[in-house]
Each structure stands twice: as C-alpha cells, then as structure tokens.
Structure 1
Amino acid sequence: MYEEIREKLGDEEASKERRALLVAIYRGTDQLPECKEHLDELELLCKTYGIETAEKLPCLVRKFNASTLISSGKVEEIGETAKELGVDVIVFDDEVTPGQQRNLEKIYSIPVIDRSEVIIGVFAQRAHSKEAKLQVELARLKYLAPRLKRMWTHLSRQQATAGGGAYLKGKGEKQIEIDRRLLKTKIFHLQKEINAVQAHRDTQRIQRERSEIPTFAIVGYTNAGKSTLLNALTEAGIFTEDKLFATLDTTTRKFTLPNNQEILLTDTVGFIRKLPHLLVAAFRSTLEEAVQADILIHLIDSSHPMALEQAEATVEVLHELGAKDKPVITVLNKIDRLEDRAILKKLRTKFTKTVNLSALYKQGFDHLTEQMTEELQKRRRVVNLRIPQKDYAVVSEVMRHGNILNQEYEENDVVMRVDLPSRYLGRISRYIEE
C-alpha cells in the first residue's frame, strides 16, 4: 500500500507533503452532478488520510479498458493534468485492480491508488481498540497481498534514476516471494486472534440476551452523528469529531425510556458508499452488533446534499450483513442545519415514517423515545399467569422483566396479568392461562 511505498523510499520521500489528483468516472452527462458529489466525498476521505487535493477531475468514460480501466485518450488526459499540477499521487474513486494499478503507474511514474485503499488507510489511522486494530490490519494485508508486484515495480522505477534500478529489480523479484509467504503467515495469525476476540464478544452478547434487556443499535453513514446521539441520550462520553470514521469501536450503554423500560443502546461503526468488501469481512463481528440488536435506529444526516444516497448505501450494507428484516426507526438528524427542503421531501418519500431531530442541540428526543417505546410495545404481549406460590422465584423474575397490570392471591397460586416481551414467553409458557 501507499505507506509501504513511502517507507521503502526513505525518510526524505516519506516526509514530503502529498498532493493528489482525484479522478471519478461517470458514464453520461446526467451523472455529472452525482460524480462531483462523489469527488467531494473522496476529497474529505483523502484529507482525513493526510493527502491534500490539488484538483478534482470528473472523467466521462463510455467504454472501460481492462488493462488501464479507462481509454488511452483519458489516460493521456489524466497524465497531462497530473504533470501540470506536479502531484505526487493519483486517486481514483472507482476500484482499480492490481494489474491496472501497475500499468497506470508505469505510465505516470507516480503512485496510483483507489478509494478502497484510502478508506482502509483511514480505518488504520482511526483504530484504537485491540479488536479494531486487528480487523484493520487483516483487511490491509489482504488488500496488499495481490499488489506486492506493483509495489516493487514502483520502487525499481524510483531507484532507477540513482543507478540502482537493475539491482533493485532482481532483489524485488526475490523479495516478492518472501513477502508473500510472510503475508500469508501474518494473515493466518491475525485471523486466529480475531476469532478469539470474536468469541469473547459472542459471550458478552449471549450474556446480554440472557438479561432480556431489549437492544437498540444506532446505524448510519459515517459522520451522521451516531456517537453524538448516544452521548446526548446516555452521557456515554464517546469521542466525537466532524470527520469521517471518528470512531471504529462499538459502545453500549444502558438507557431508560420514559415508561421506565430499561434498554441497551449501541453505537456502531459508520458505513460509507463503496465500503471495501475486505473491511466488511474484517469488521463483520463488529458490524454484526447491528444484526444482533432487536431494533435499529437508522440515523441520516438530513443536511447533506447526498443524504438519500448515503441512506441507501447504509441500507445496502445492512442487507449484506443479513439485517434486512430488522425493525427500523428512521431518524433525520442535523435538522437544525437543513437548507434544502427538497432533500427532506425525498427522504420522507423513501422512508415513510421518520423522526426529525438535532442530536447536537437535543431537539426531537421526545419523539424519538416515543417511537422507541412504540416499537418495543409491538414486541410485547399481555398475558394472564397462574404461578404456584412454591415457584415464587418465577414471580420475582416476571416482576423483573414485565409490567404488572394486576396481581392477586388465590389459595396457593399467584394470579397475574402482565405485559411482557414476546421473546420471554417461552420460558414461562406452562404458567400462561388462555
């Protein structure tokens, strides 16, 4: 990856300020506005990664080229622009295969990277917990494995001007095989470590499920305000920043709804358009916090020009994770910053039932907690119970998990009318009276 190239070039090269030409492909003139929005997002990703944008170039492509992604004419156009600007790297918003990277770098004589590499780089910078660091490293190494040849080819060109190109080429060919074996071993051990961490996470989740406390997961596009919402509701004290992927770790806190119902509320990793499959796979155990929750709170930055597309990207990842049929409360956040009412109209057309709020200013929370209570109520049943007094431990358990509507004592039995979570009923089915 880009860091490996920088390290091998030496301290002088690595210390330089990196400037990039950003390139995004569109197929027709009607796609140009969307293409420009994608470039804006890529610019923000690059900024987070530590790369300055020199220029953003929308590139109209009618037909793709297997060896260079784009036509020879477009390759030349991009090369001329990069040379005029004196950039150090070219960043494509679209996925570029290892072979295409090698071919383009031979032409441009500077690194060529894609959106996936930038996102993985940002994740690497943002990982703080042991689990997040392991997951990012696994994705990074899997991304790097098929690109070793490209990296050494780039280095041989850089060193050729110093007269050591032939030596480095021979050295590189031998080193590639060594690096491949090392990577394979590192990937194997990383996967073992991740499996161990995941087993611990699974144990924690099972304990939460046994507690019968309903769980909500806050999901959404990166920088939608998920951590801000969790902080505002629970005073969790999570680090927040107006940057992409400010946090990669899940945080779970208890929260009490207005009807005194205790719930668990979890903040999850942010999603993004074209989230690399390597990261989805590596972060699956973390992302599955959303899948395991009883109810999802889909938080959308309603002030963003591409709010609808971001929301659809989130839904797409949730489907990929197997959370398609989960109950969802759709929340339109940052309503205080909304300037374009047309965006709000589009969102309300797509998501028929929504909650408007500002997590920053704690506006609209009453409506949100009302919807949360309503969704929980759909997952509850009112039942009549007859429990022998000798089984009073069951009575205590029912009182802990349910809302007692009526309770009487008849001879040796406790007769109760109780509002209980549906998933709990199997455990007390023999005491239920029809």
Structure 2
Amino acid sequence: MSIDLHAVPRAPGALPLLGHAWQLWRDPLGFLESLRRTGELVRVDLGTLPTYVATTPELVHEVTVRQARSFEKGRLFDRVRPLVGTGLATATGDVHRRHRRLIQPIFHPERIAGYAELMCARAAALSDSWTAGQRIAVEDAMAEYAIETLAATMFSADIGRPAVEAVRRELPVILKNMLIRAASPKLLDRLPVPANRDFDTAAANLRRVIDEVITSTRDAGRTGRPDLLTVLLDARDADTGEAFTDTEVRDELVTMLFAGSETTASTLSWALYELARHPEVEKQVVAELDEVLGDRPLAVEDLCRLGGIRRVLDEAIRLYGVTLLMRRTLVPVELGGHRLPAGTEVAFSLYAMHRDPAVFERPDAFDPDRWLPERAAQISRHSYIPFGAGSRKCIGDTFAWTEATIALATILRRWRLRPAPGHTPKAAASAMAHPDHVPMIVTPRER
C-alpha cells in the first residue's frame, strides 16, 4: 500500500522561505551525505519547492532504470538549459532518442581508438611541459588537458581555437554557479543575483563563440573529417534522413564540453593526489605499467591491460563523483512506498550514494583493491553508477575512461608527484565533487 507525500520524512534544519537552500549552499556535500540518516526518501525544500531525495541504490535504480519512462529531467536541468539548450543532457522523449541515435556512432570503439592518438599526444605534451622540482596546480593542469583534448577531437585545429579559449574562460564560471542555481528558491530565478548573472553571461558567450565556429565550418564546406563537429554536421538519421540543425549541433557540442571536461579533470586530480597519499598503490600501478609497456610508447591496445589504473580511476570517481542529479515525474509514481503525483521533483546524489556504508566497506577510504574481481562481485551493479544508468547513462563514458587512463599512464611513467606543503585539498561541489586546489611537486621517476 502506498502512502502519500505527507508521510515522507523532512530533512532537519529548514528555514522559512529558504527551506534547506542555506544548508546546500553552505555545505552541499555534507548535507547530501547526511540525508540517508533521515530515510530512504527524504523531503528537502529548495525555498518553497519540495524535492524528494532518494538516498539508496534501490530507489535510484527505480528512478533511472525501472521507472525511467515516468520521469523527465528536473529543475537542475531546467536551470542549465541556458547553457546546453536541448542537448542530450536536457532533451526529453523523442528528441532525446533521436539525438542519442545520431550521436552514438561518434563514440563507437573504432572512433575512440582514433581519438586515442590525439589523447596520447596531448598527455605527452602536458608531461613534457613540466620540469624537475616544479610546483604545479594539478587541478589547473588536468583541466587544461581535458579541455585541450576535447577541443582537439571536437574541432579542426585551424578554426577551433576561439572555442578553446572561450571554454577555458567561461567554463569555470559556469561550473562554480551551476549548483547554486539549482538549489536557489524559485523566487530568485529571475533576479539579477551574481550566480544568475555570471552564469547567464558565461553561457551566452560560450554559445556565441561555438555558433561562429559552426558557421565557419559550414561555410568552408568541410565534410568527411574526423573531428566531432564535422561528424555532427554530416550525421543523418537512418530512418528519416534528417540532419542536425546548427542550433542542435551547438547544443550537443556545449553539452560534451560541459559534461566531459570537469569529470576528467576532477577524477585525474583526485587520482594523482590519492596516489601520492598511498605510495604502496602507486608502486603497484607503476610496476604494472613497466610490465605491460616496458620501454615502448603507450598504445590504445594496452589500455585494457592496465587494470591497476582502472581501479584507481574507479575509486577516485566513487569518492568524488557527481554531486546532484534531478528528475521530475511525468505521471503519478510509487517510490519507496510513497505515491508521488505528476510534477514532483526527485533528486539523488551519486557522491552520497557511493559513500553509503551499507554498500561500501570503509566508504570514505581510498581503496582501489575494492575493485578487484573477487571484491567487486560483492557490490551490486546498480550501487556503483559513476556515469548514470539506463537510457540516460552518459554516452561518452568510454571516451572519458580512455582519456583519463592515457593521461594517468603517461604521467606516472615519467613523474612522481607529491603534495606541496601549505594546503590540503578539500572537495568543493559543482557538477562533481572537484578539489579546490591541489598543489604538488613533480620529480623525475627513478627507473
């Protein structure tokens, strides 16, 4: 028997008019993690907007897979639509299915193998730019690698430079303000508060520059090239023969930039920091690299043999994953024994879910060996979904794993990184639980 929403426990600490928005602004990660202590489904008020947070893997699976057709994207995605338009992140229904069908071939294994050569070149360029004893801001270096790598695969080198510079300039502003916009009470939606003004300005600038690059590419009559922009312009629906409009191409490119850059940069930054804090794990990973590669260059065929790096990346993204995702019910839905009417906002945090002590032993510890086959078999498949699940699972997950594996392998073969004194990285919430600052000293690795 289902129970109405009045019986759903409410998170403590709500304030008049603001609801729980203040707690989300002040300590978003701590607040989201705390909700499991209140219940499996918890009411959180974003101002006067009630939102129901699923805190268990089972309920998240209901939302993302079993009852996925009963949900659409929710408030969070409404708030980022000025940036990504109707790209895959925000599109719904037939539009989402059509776009995914057209984009899927871009991430075919054969294409990713081709992109891997560019990834290797970018990773080598990054590694070559460092000098012995240099102090680097790892989060900046990894962001530059992620953006440059995405740009190299997305745009032809001669006309894509303005887009690269725009991403470097505007994306940090967008990421900084995204969660604040989602958690803000609706009464602030149209007010010119800094979070709204800065986000809207940065999004408009990025979209304008990419529009110009698309126009230049069309005017040049470029076809058959391997860059993602040309592939999108050339794509045709197998059933209807329809192509993407320029606006749809722009929305998909911005979505890829937005989704692809922070995930890779944040995961790599945390992986390098955690390896420095766990030298015994680093030693095992480097030994594996020596065994697999010897003295020859890394090749795409080697990636599947680098299980140690994959476990490190799995553990980094488990610990520091996606902060918050939202859905909205399209029809009445039963969730956790409660009846949710159509139009109800539902949220879940992969960051919090992946630190659930009911699922993960020592959930806050960095332990890549938990992903060894015999231990990983004890973790249910839907308890660990770093790239989401169901029809909304990130279409570029293999691209991201390939890019991150190549970067980590390239860096670790040559350099040993250790935390610089004076600062301990802290997790800050935007799309991911990214590090605020990771200063490290690089020294040549003894071989």
Shorter-normalised TM-score: what interval?
under 0.3
Structure with higher strand content: 1
Length-normalised TM-score, structure 1: 0.26
- TM-score, length-scaled by structure 2: 0.26
**Structure (1 or 2) with the larger CA radius of gyration:** 1
